[in-house]
A and B are shown apart, each in its own frame.
Chain A
Amino acid sequence: MKIHEYQGSALLAEYGIPTSVSELAQTPQEAADIARRFGSNVVVKAQVLTGGRGKAGGVKLAHSPEEAFQCAEEILALQIKGIPVTKLLIAKSVDILQEYYLGVAVDRTMKQAVIMISAAGGVDIEDLARNDPEKILKFYVNPFQGLQEDRLRQVVASVFIDPGLCAQAFDTVMKMYRLFLEKDCSLVEINPYVKTKASALIALDAKINFDDNGLFKHPEIEALRSPEEFSPDEIRAKDAGLSFVNLDGNIGCIVNGAGLAMATMDVIKLFGGEPANFLDVGGSSNPNKVLLALDIITSNKNVKAVLINIFGGITRCDDVANGILMAVRKLDIKLPLVIRMIGTREAEGREILVNAGYVVADDMEAAVKKVVALI
């Protein structure tokens, strides 16, 4: 799960990490009022759950409340990667002497948490990792052994030479790591982490992502979820326990199991079709889930045909068959359905569908060819 910068900054502040003074605005007038109250230059920043807002014109410096009004108006009119901007963070501008990067993430290959520190902050860290990897220092934490503070302090000191700055930065990194562990984050990133003229280090941005599997422990984090992270269909699917991702094609897919669902999309493409979605109905084959899956898919106007590919294991073919018939009755589905069904209780499932006039394939690739030919 992703959260906005303003929510991330509040979490950093909650952990005692110095952040810039800022407030949220939703209208140009609010932006101007905040700028007037701050009595200084302000930075007006779009709050969207995607990267690249700077390049898209979503961050502007304003020298007066009037300018803040103007900037806010311009940014609120933007769509950044298709996402309309509805919220702005108005931050007191600071005089920056240097920009650093701090991050904590999971390195799945090393199977350890990794703390990343760079004196070349402010830029796209992925570009930096590709072009100048030696400019990012990495410190791995074996979770079983715990964080070795002395070694981390040495790494921090090699980037923040001044002892005063080193102490501040070390404190911030330790707090980031604590936040990362305590809230089950998948990423805690401050970029840029800046040195001001007053020789203070503060976080000017906050990017915090959470492990979806850890959210059950943190209702206060779940409450921060923004509706725009997913499309309305994706949210409906999620609430029903379906795993669903919208795509651009015209063949709707309903599959059990994530790996098979991906492979089904791949084989559709291989045979010249375009999948309209990824959809995993999951392990338990509640007929209502199949009904909802068909409802979501057939409400997509691009969809011209639907492929249902079920390899029953935990999922029972007869449950899925009943779900399909229920959906056809309730939703008045006019689109052609191509059904492949095999595995647990396949004979029963097939009988239900054949009696209702459907043809059921047992071979996945034959079913895919058939649905592609319908388009």
Chain B
Amino acid sequence: MSILINENTKVLVQGITGRDGSFHAASMLDYGTKVVGGVTPGKGGQKVGDLPVFNSVKDALSEKEMNCSIIYVPARFASAAIKEAADNKIPLIVCITEGVPINEMLYNYYYVKDKGVRLIGPNCPGLISPGKSKAGIMPAKIHLPGNIGVISRSGTLTYEFVYNLTINKMGQSTCVGIGGDAVVGTGYIELLEMFEKDPDTNAIVLIGEIGGEEEEKAAEYIKANVKKPVVSFISGRSAPADKKMGHAGAIISQGRGTASAKIEALNKAGIPVADCPSQIPKLITEKSGVS
């Protein structure tokens, strides 16, 4: 098992004729992901490699089966793409696009919930269940199939942790990048719940960063609900206040969202927090030993 995606996941690529969409459709196919085709309005009937291009999600559904859509369209079209996928009841929507306005995301957040579908992202690297399926942009070769679940707000920082796990022979069940924006479709808590239930996940790595209160809320949730060992890292200890550190969501504003507050909350909940990425494998071993 794994969470959210596996060997049965069939992926549609919204924005498949764009530079990123076509490149990553090919790289997902290379990894063995079952990519069924793509959508670009006005380009229906064309092909990208061997993949058919449709004018709409609805057209794609009339010819292909799918249970996941991954979105690579420019920011100004991202909300429409999310809504289109949700209207067609695609159960898992992964939005890679960076730069979606927050007011649109507030609306999208409730919109997808109302349709009963799940949104991952936006501004995220997507997700991968190593050896089974990849719906994202991460470099596949650093991953190793195994039993560690990884949840992160960041892209390349996730790769850094996965790399440290893999060189220590700690494979991963599923790695999920939830996105670096202030409002994203799926948060830590929902994923923690899934990993807790997943029989193939034995331990969880939670990678957070400054801004917001999601890590604090996750710490409370873990204390009350998660039996599996969880270890953590928070980036942005050295970040100054009131400066956005790249991600729209990574900002310490009005004294809230600091790394120290998050680390304290995690420690209080019994979750060890690594000082640097290389400490994570050791923390997992220690934490697994005592729990």
Contact = CB atoms under 8 A, between A and B. Distances in A.
Nearest to B125: A313
A238 B104 CA distance: 23
Contacts of B152: 259
Interface string B241-259: 0011111111000110001
B245 A245 contact: yes
Interface string B203-222: 00001011011100100000
A216 B278 contact: no
B163 A311 contact: yes
Instruction: Give the interface SS of chain A, mostly helix, strand, loop or mixed.
Output: mixed
Contact of A142 (B75, B110, B155, B157): B110
Interface string A256-275: 11111111011111100001
A257 B75 contact: no
A106 B102 contact: yes
B254 A126 contact: yes
A250 B177 CA distance: 32
Contacts of A126: 254-255
Q: What is the size category of the interface that chain B forms with chain A?
A: 35 or more
A260 B276 CA distance: 11
A243 interface: yes
Interface string A275-286: 100101000000
A257 B139 contact: no
Interface string B91-123: 000000001111110110111001000000000
A130 B114 CA distance: 35
A181 B207 CA distance: 32
Given A186-B102, A270-B275, A311-B156, A261 B246 contact: yes
A181 B107 CA distance: 11
A265 B109 contact: no
Contact of A214 (B20, B103, B154, B239): B103
Interface in A288-337: 311-315
B75 A109 contact: no
A71 interface: no
A313 B237 contact: no
Given A143-B107, A211-B103, A258 B239 contact: no
A317 to B, nearest CB: 11
A109 B109 contact: no
Given A263-B157, A267-B276, A364-B277, A342 B138 contact: no
B239 A278 contact: yes
A343 B275 CA distance: 23
Nearest to A346: B139
B73 interface: no
A59 interface: no
A266 B235 contact: yes
Contacts, number: 168
Given A213-B99, A269-B237, A275-B238, A260 B160 contact: yes
Nearest to B156: A257
A363 B278 CA distance: 9
A77 B89 CA distance: 62
B236 A266 contact: yes
B138 A259 contact: no
A245 B243 contact: yes
A188 B17 CA distance: 39
B119 to A, nearest CB: 12
Contacts of B139: 312-313, 343-344
A1 to B, nearest CB: 11
B238 A265 contact: yes
Contact of A109 (B100, B137, B209, B212): B212
Given A106-B106, A278-B245, A343-B142, A217 B155 contact: no
Contacts of A243: 245-246
B183 interface: yes
Contact of B248 (A113, A143, A213, A255): A213
B246 A280 contact: yes
Given A108-B249, A145-B110, A260-B155, 8 more contacts: A111-B110, A143-B110, A212-B248, A213-B100, A213-B181, A214-B102, A266-B237, A343-B142
10 contacts: A111-B109, A212-B244, A213-B101, A216-B76, A243-B245, A262-B239, A266-B238, A278-B239, A311-B163, A313-B159
